[in-house]
Structure formats: structure tokens, C-alpha cells
Structure 1
Amino acid sequence: MQAAVHQMPQMLPQYPRQSLNGVINGAHIVPPTPPVATRKRKRPHQYTVSYSEVQEVDSEGKLREVIVIDDTPPPPTISPATTYTNGFSASYQPPQFSAPIRTRARAAAEAQALSASTSSVAIIPPAPKKRKREPVDDAHATITKKPVTIVQQQQPVTTTKSWASGSGAATDEVSKGPVPCDDKEGHYIIVPDDIIARRYRTVRLLGQGTFGKVVEAIDTQNDTRVAIKIIRAIPKYRDASKIEVRVLQKLKERDPMNRHKCIHLLHWFDHRNHICLVSELLGMCVYDFLKENEFAPFPRQHIQSFARQLLGSVAFLHDLHLIHTDLKPENILLVHSNFRSTAVPVPGKRNVPPRMKRVLQSTDIRLIDFGSATFEEEYHSTVVSTRHYRAPEIILGLGWSFPCDAYSLGCILVEFYTGVALYQTHDNLEHLAMMEMVMGKMPERFARAGTRTKPEFFKEGSRLDWPKAKASRQSKKDVRATRSLQDVIPPTDIINRHFLNLVQRLLAFDPSHRITVREALNHPYFSLSIAEEI
């Protein structure tokens, strides 16, 4: 391209013609004073050339950079969709008196139009759209791209890396701009058919807790169904999940055949700031089964099977100097949720038709959720365990260790027998009062230790200060309604007598007098053969 520059002739002001000696017709006169200019004198015109850099596709389909001089017309377009008038395309008209003003934006737009019309492999970025799935991760999904107009600017492509720390492999995730994937609380937004880590396709949400969410997914590499625990994108939960990963890796290392019924970690990785733990897909948790079964108790032979497996799992943890600290029915999964339905009479009601009760076909279970698990030699937080399964030494601030797991197991076994939680309270003093209703008065030595750490719970003589004056009528009623353990598990036969004794030793107030889980496995209760019953 060339710029044509025309030098304009210099225009001089028209003054009366003068001779060199100032004489007109032989007479000497004074030369007239030139008129005063009414505007500033023009400076010599400075010619500058402005240019911009654009990209074009040449006749061979190759992209090249071209410098466009701003005082020349743009290159003619050759798009077959362009209409021509007088030898010029409709997108450009010849200048009338001067070249049109060319801006960088206009040059870029016209170059993009040329590229889009002449190249058979024009690169068109996808238009922004709401997140349905991650395009980069979904190897089987079809990405629909919307055409862009010739004046639309290309959107920057942001590349982020998510390092799969558990497997040592890295996954590159390319997304066009930031795509929201979390809610305001840091939970991952679950979308059906979402592809996670280029491998796992989500199916449905299985559950949600404080830590995050658990989803069912299909492992596209081997076409198997797995469960993925997706931790909230909050630092404290991410840190706890890394501890859980360390624990799970140790459990799998020490028990590769999984004889001790703890969940096995298959894979873990960091996906969009969420730690993800992949494990085998199991059935529902024991609590959900109880709930869907209208909180009907389990048959006694099932309780014995559950107790043996749970004590074995926790004994394995304790042998590794590991305390679970959060044992509860929600953290016990059935391997298979299959059941049969049978009609059972409603107790205490003769003329009421029998109701249908679900009976499990398999009692195989797995212990899960090691997010709060703590090694004995490491830091112990002040409060652990879910309220209903919390040991008295934790409530009194006396410190805790392996026996707190044994206490939680005692509460769980009673719940299996009755169908409902043994302690239903949310107040520390009320909880201790209910414990005394179930197990009798605290041992004096244990009560004196509690008086030193929680004097507000005791009165003179190291006796529990219940009820306090501020206690509500409902609270007093709930404590009075709490039955003793012998009333809850009546020793009507040898099975119940041994079961009652086992639970009493697991629920002992003083942790130093509480039976260990390893000792409990040798309890006479497990030598009994319990006949199948509803």
C-alpha cells in the first residue's frame, strides 16, 4: 500500500503591486502598510503516517500480519457474499475528498471479516453460555458453538491446571473465562452428566454434609460406578480432607484385602479447588435404612453381625494408634441395601393391621468418614464426636483417647436395638443427667475430676447439679422420661443378658474402666448363635 502525498502550491496574500524602489509613475510614495492578519500564521504542514497491525489470511490460507496505513483505503474484500458497486465492495466506498478515518478497531474488524470469509478453517470462539458441564473434561460431549459477528472480539481463553496429587498425573482444564462451579457456601454445584477430572461422569447426588457432598459417578475408564466425596472449597475443610487422605492411604496400605471393613480409597485429586476422594459405590447408610424403615429396630442376629464388624474395624484403627472420633449410624454404610418386606404386628394394638417391615438380605457394612480421625500422638481438639454419641469425658473436658470410640459404639448398638438414638439432647448438663438416668450415678472419682474442669455442672459433694433453676419444664420432663439401660434392653434371655452386659461395659462413665474394643471382640455375646428372627 502506498500513500499519495500532493504538495499544495503556496498561497500568498494579494497586496498592491510595488516597484523595487517604491516609485509609482515617477512619484516617490511611502509603501502602504500591509493589512494585519486576522488569524495566526500557519505552520508548514507536517505529514505523519499512522498505522495499525492486523492479521489477514492470504490466498494460500496462511495467517499473516499486515501493516495498515491509516490514510489509505482498506484492502478489498473478496467474500462471495459481498455485493459490488462501481468496482468497490459494499463494505468500502471510495473517498470523496479525503481518506476515511481509520481506527485500530476498524482495521481489526475488517481483517477479521476477511479472515472469516476467505479461510475454510476459520477459528470461531464459542459464545459465552451458562455452565452445564465442563467442555474440556467431557470427552464424549458435543460442544455447540454459536457463530460470531464480524465485529465481535475474540474472548481470551483461560487455561488452568488442576494437579491430581493422588495419582501423580496432571489434568489441564481449559474454560472460556471463569465458570461458576460453587455455591455461596463453597459446596460444589452438582450437575448431572458433569465430567470431573476428564474421567468421572456424575449421575446423582447421594448426600450432603458439613464437609461437602457425595455423588454417584461413572468411571469412564473402566465403566464402573463409584462414589466421589467432593470437599467444600474452604481452607479448613480442604486441610481436614488432606488428613483424611493420609489416613485412608495408611488403612489401605495396612489392609489391602479390606478384611477390616473400612472404606478403601481408589483415587483422589484436586478438581477446581475441591479435594475429591473416589471410593467404591456402596449402599445407603444405616441411619437412612432405619429412617426409611420407620425406625424399626434391627433383628438381633443382624445386631450381632453389625457389632462384630464395627468392633473389628475400630480395633484395627486403634492398633494403628488412630481414633475415629465420629462413629455414628450415618458413617456406617451397607454394602448392599437389598431387603425383603415382611408383615409384623403393631405392638400393643390388637385391631390394627400389621405393618410392613424391611429386613436386610445382607449385613455387610463399611466404616466411612475419616475426616475427623486423629492419631493418638497428634493434636487433639477439645470437642469431638457428634452430640448423641459423645462420651462423658469429652463433655467434661477431661481429655479423650481410644475409649471415646468404644462409648460411641455402645450408643450405636443401643440404637440398633431400639431404632432410635439413646440420647436425644443438645445441652451438656441435660446430656450428663440423661447419662445418669441410663447408667446410674457417676463414680465419685470421675465426678471429682469433672468438678475441677466443669465446676458449673456440679454442686457440693461432686454431685451433678441437676436440675438447675433455669432448666425448662420440657428439659426436666425429657430427663425423667429417659429409661435405665436395663429397661431399654430387658435381660429376658441369655442373648439379651450378654448384649446388655456388653453395652454396659462400653458405656461406662470412667474411660479407664471402659472395655476396649479389642476386649469386646472376645465378649461371650459373640459366641452365641442367634436364630434368625424378624
Structure 2
Amino acid sequence: MGALDLPSQAVCIETRHAKRLCLRHDDIELPSCIDSTRLQLQLSQPVQSPAVWHEDDNDGHFNHRPGENLTPRYKILRQMGEGTFGRVLECWDRDAQELVAIKVVRSAEKFREAARIEVNILRTLAENDIRGTGGCVQIKDWFDYRNHICIVCEKLGPSLFDLLQTNNYHPMSIDLVQEFGRQILNSVAFMHSLRLIHTDLKPENVLLAATEYQNTLNYEAPISNKIKLIDFGSAAYAGGDCFSVVSTRHYRAPEVILGQFMIYQGVFHSSNHCTHAEALDTHSKYELFLSIMWIFFLLSIFSGFGWSFPCDIWSVGCILVELCSGEALFQTHENIEHLAMMERVLGPIPVHVIKRSMYKSGKYFKYGRELNWPDDSTTKDSIQAVCKLPKLRNLVMQHADHSAGLLIDLLERLLKYDPEERLTARMALEHPFFRELPRR
């Protein structure tokens, strides 16, 4: 989904939580446990006529009331969340006799077209995950209702962000970090094997399968650690049409900010040009190679080409740090401050990475090798926000115990500035940090 309006309850939580929610304004899903008594009462209410009609609101969102029908098959129980693309409703499926989550997309044609793409992606994921081990939300159905595309998915539990919030942002145990990290990487590896890039990985988009918690040593832990990735509305196929800026700010990779020019080997391997080139002589091949390089160079300038599968890996690294520490690693909304935070935590950006940037001089860097921060316009608040951040090693050591060294090594490999040097999801799963992980 797109950026969600915060629930009214957000104003009641303590200041630290409110500030945190305001910073994280993109794509927040709001699933929660459902009270069984309330559910029975709602299901026992008289069935509303499917002919009940409400005009869309001024933004093209579907208007509804609890107890009404979304087609005769689905009874609306409550609204779970709202975003740029539409609203997510918890519904009762009368045919399957189960709860489902239905994403009701706004009626404007641009949102309808985006929803069609998302449906195709979800169907691709489902068709390639017959055994159900891919770790991505399962689409059950989709339909067009009163000019709104409705995507029916399995009903899942709260997100990892909800789990952190429930526990007052207390760091998770190293065992949970291992377990969730392994599952997230497994899901990412599955997606990447299908040439799909999620582009918006974050704790809000990782949902627990279970809806209930159990208290363990003063920590509200889920009754099951199984998780699934959701929200493929921003997903893209490698080499396909894409936006120049992707990912929610806190989890955005440096190459997205820098607009780097880089050619990923997989793009060339899948290119039809390479197939035709096999029949050409060496000179023609060289000319073709230069032409392709020029095309990709222009793409890097005019459409922001420069991110691919590794941007998901960076996001996973940021998620693992957050689970380990209880706090988002890079809490900022400014590009230059974001880069400064990266350097504070991870060290200087390598010169060869800067040279591939669209902004290697002037905007972000001086002399093509040094970050132009702080400058005369930098505020004291910005300087304090950057300077308070510890080095990655020190940050992990504050929260991890016996596995700190292995976790630090994994994170350093996931958070490489150069995307070509980052681990792939499959490689990360072979890291020693996961070797002794108990499989639940």
C-alpha cells in the first residue's frame, strides 16, 4: 500500500512512540488480533443487502460500513488500514468460512492499472510456490466491484513493527533475530529467483502468521514465529519499467539516493541483444556492446536506473539492525543527512561508488570524493541526529550476546555501499550466523 493515515489511537500513545510513528509514514499495514467474541457478534448480524451503495470519497476511496457486503460472498467486518492505493478490509468469506484481507483499490485508472500489475505479481508468486514455502502472502481471488479492483489475500497477524511497538521497542532476542532474518532472506531469495524486486521491504511489510501473543519473560512473543512478506504494490521485474526512487526512506539503499550508474550482469544475460550478437563478428559485437552501454547510461540519467536486487538486501540489513536494537537505523527524511548517517555508522562512502553517482560533485560531494556535510545550511538538530549514532559494531554489541560477532559480520556484508559487493539472499542464508538456527 502507499502511505497510510495514522490511526486515531496514535495520538494517545506516549511521545516517543508518536514521534516514531510520524517518522515512519510510508506503507504501514495495520493488522491486529481480533477478539473472538466480537467476531461472533459481527457474524451473527443480519446480512446487509448487496445493493447498498455509497459514493466514493473525494479521493476515489471505497466507502463502506461494517456489516455490509462486498459482493454477496464477503461480509465487511472492519477496516484494517488505509493507504495511497486504497483500503484494506477484514472480511468474512462465506464460501470458505474464513477471515480474509481484501485490498480495495481506489477507482482512479492509474491505481486500477497498478492493481492489475500487483495481481499478476501475486499470481506469479502463488503459481511458483505450490508447496507454500516461499514466505509471501497468498492471493486467493480478485474481482472488480463498482469500479474498484479488490484483491483477496489470506488474513495474517500483526507486523514485526507491531511486535516491536507492543513490547515498547525493546530489542528482540538474538534467537528471534536469527529466525526472522532467515525467513525474510528465504522469501527474498524466492522473489529474486523469479526476477522480482520487492523494493519496499521494512518491518511493516513483514507479517506474523499468528494473531496472538504469549508472555515469555516479560516479552510479548508471538505464539508462532512464522512470517510472510506482504505489499507487492511497488514490486518490479528486473529490467522492466521502474521508478527512479524506491523504498521507504529508512530502508533505502545508497544507490537509490545516489542514482548510480551500474550494469548488473543479469540484465545482460537476459537481453535479446546478446542473443542476436552471437551471430555477429567481433567488431560488430563491440559496437553493439558500446551501444547498449550508452543506452543504459542514458537510462541511468533520465530514469534513475541504478538499483536492482541488491536494494532489497540493503533493506534486509536495516530490518535486522532494527529488530536487534529496537530502533530504525537511519531516522531521517533528507538525502544528505541520510548519507551522513550511513557514513557515521558504516564508514566513508568509497570513492569508486561516488564516481558512479549522478551527484559525484556539487549536490552531495565536494572534489568528487568527500561528502558535502555538514555545510553552512546544516542545522544543529541534524548534526546531533548524526553524531549520536554509534558505529555498527558498537550498536550491535550493545544488544547482542554470544552471536554478536557473527551478526556484525553478516550485517557488514548486507550493508555494503557497493551493491555489487553485497551478499545475495542465497549467499546470506549460508552465513554462519544462521547455521545453528533452530527451525521451528
Output the amino acid matched with 2:408.
L
Partner residue of 2:426? 518
**Match among 358, 363, 370 for residue 220 of structure 2:** 358
Q: Is the 8 A contact 2:330 2:341 kept in 1?
A: yes
Matched residue type, 2:434? F
Amino acid at match of 2:312: D
Give how far 1:420 is off.
Answer: 1.2
Change (3 A) 1:245 1:453: farther
1:247 matches 2:155 = no
Measure the CA separation in 2 of the matches of 1:284 and 1:292: 10
Give the partner amino acid of 2:247: S
Quick one: distance in 2 between partners of 1:497 and 1:475?
A: 31
Matches within 5 A, 1:207-356: 207-342=81-216, 356=218
Among 51, 60, 74, the residue aligned to 1:200: 74
Aligned ranges 1:405-420 → 2 under 5 Å: 405-420=312-327
Q: What do the CA deviations read for 1:66-88 (whole angstroms, capped 9, x no partner)?
A: xxxxxxxxxxxxxxxxxxxxxxx
> Secondary structure of 1:528's match?
coil
Q: Does the aligned pair in 1 maintain the 2:360–2:369 contact within 8 Å?
A: no
Unaligned runs of 5+ in 1: 1-138, 144-172, 344-355
So what's the TM-score if we normalise by structure 1?
0.63
The residue type paired with residue 376 of structure 2 is A
Structure 2 match to 1:397: 259
Q: Structure 1 counterpart of 2:435, which letter?
A: S
CA contact (8 A) 1:423 1:434 kept: yes
TM superposition shift of 1:322: 0.7
In structure 2, list runs of 5 or more residues that go unmatched: 1-44, 261-305
Which one of 222, 236, 239 corresponds to residue 377 of structure 1?
239
2:147 and 2:161 map into 1 onto residues whose CA distance is 30
Shift of 1:325: 0.4
Percent identity, aligned pairs only?
A: 43
Residue 203 of structure 1 aligns to which amino acid in structure 2?
L
Please tell me the residue identity of whatever aligns with 1:489: V
1:490 maps to 397
CA distance in 1, matches of 2:366, 2:142: 52
AA partner of residue 210 (structure 1): T
Partner deviation per Cα, 1:142-169 (whole Å, 9 max, x = no partner) = 76xxxxxxxxxxxxxxxxxxxxxxxxxx
Amino acid at match of 1:302: L
Partner of residue 249 from structure 2, selected from 365, 387, 390: 387
Q: CA RMSD in A?
A: 2.1
Q: How far apart are the structure 1 equivalents of 2:137 and 2:350? A: 37
Q: For the residues of structure 2 that align with 1:475 and 1:393, how far apart are their CA atoms? A: 22
Q: Is the 8 A contact 2:199 2:311 kept in 1?
A: yes
CA-to-aligned-CA distance 1:383-430 (integer Å, 9 cap, x gap): 000000000000011110000000000000001101110010000000
Is the 1:451–1:458 contact (alpha carbons within 8 Å) kept by the matching residues of 2?
A: no
Pair 411,422 (structure 1): closer, same or farther in 2 beyond 3 Å = same
1:188 corresponds to 2:96: no
| Deviating 4+ runs (over 3 angstroms) | 139-143, 451-455, 491-494, 529-532
Relative distance call for 1:386 and 1:225 in structure 2 (3 A) is same
Cα 1:228–1:454 change in 2 (3 A) is: farther
Residues 397 and 453, structure 1, Cα contact 8 Å, conserved in 2: no
CA distance in 2, matches of 1:531, 1:473: 47
Instruction: Classify 1:494/1:342 alpha carbon distance in 2 versus 1 (closer, same or farther; 3 Å).
Output: closer
Aligned-partner Cα distance in 2 for 1:507–1:224: 41
Identify the range of structure 1 (242-251 vs 223-232) with the bigger mean alpha-carbon deviation.
Answer: 223-232
After superposition, what is the alpha-carbon deviation per residue over 1:190-215, rounded to whole angstroms, capped at 9, x for unaligned? 31011012210011111222221111
Distance 2:170 2:211 in 1: 16
Please list the CA deviations of residues 47-92 of structure 1 after superposition, one character each: whole Å capped at 9, or x if unmatched: xxxxxxxxxxxxxxxxxxxxxxxxxxxxxxxxxxxxxxxxxxxxxx
**Structure 1 residues 322 and 454 mapped into 2: Cα distance closer, same or farther (>3 Å)?**
farther
* Aligned-partner Cα distance in 2 for 1:402–1:431: 21
Larger RCO (alpha carbons 8 Å, 6+ apart)? 2
Separation of aligned partners in 1, 2:130 and 2:215: 36
Shift of 1:289: 1.9
Note closer, same or farther for the CA distance 1:431–1:386 as it changes in structure 2 (3 Å cut): same
Distance 1:480 1:531 in 2: 39
Measure the CA separation in 1 of the matches of 2:316 and 2:309: 12
Distance 2:116 2:70 in 1: 19
Q: How does 1:1-12 map to 2 (within 5 A)?
A: none
Letter in 2 for 1:527: R
What is the CA–CA distance in structure 1 between the aligned matches of 2:422 and 2:332, rounded to whole Å? 23
Which residue of structure 1 aligns with residue 264 of structure 2?
Answer: none
Letter in 2 for 1:415: E
SS at match of 1:415: helix
The partner residue of 1:447 within 342, 354, 369 is 354
Shift of 1:236: 2.1
Distance 1:453 1:245, change over 3 A: farther
Distance of aligned partners of 1:248 and 1:453 in 2 relative to their CA distance in 1, 3 Å threshold: farther
Q: Distance in 1 between matches of 2:211 and 2:93?
A: 22
SS in 1 for 2:172: coil
**Structure ID, larger Rg:** 1
For residues 15-36 of structure 1, the C-alpha deviation after alignment (integer angstroms, 9 at most, x for no partner) is xxxxxxxxxxxxxxxxxxxxxx
Q: Supply the AA of the counterpart residue of 1:508.
A: K
Structure 2: distance between partners of 1:452 and 1:335: 42
Distance 1:265 1:453, change over 3 A: farther
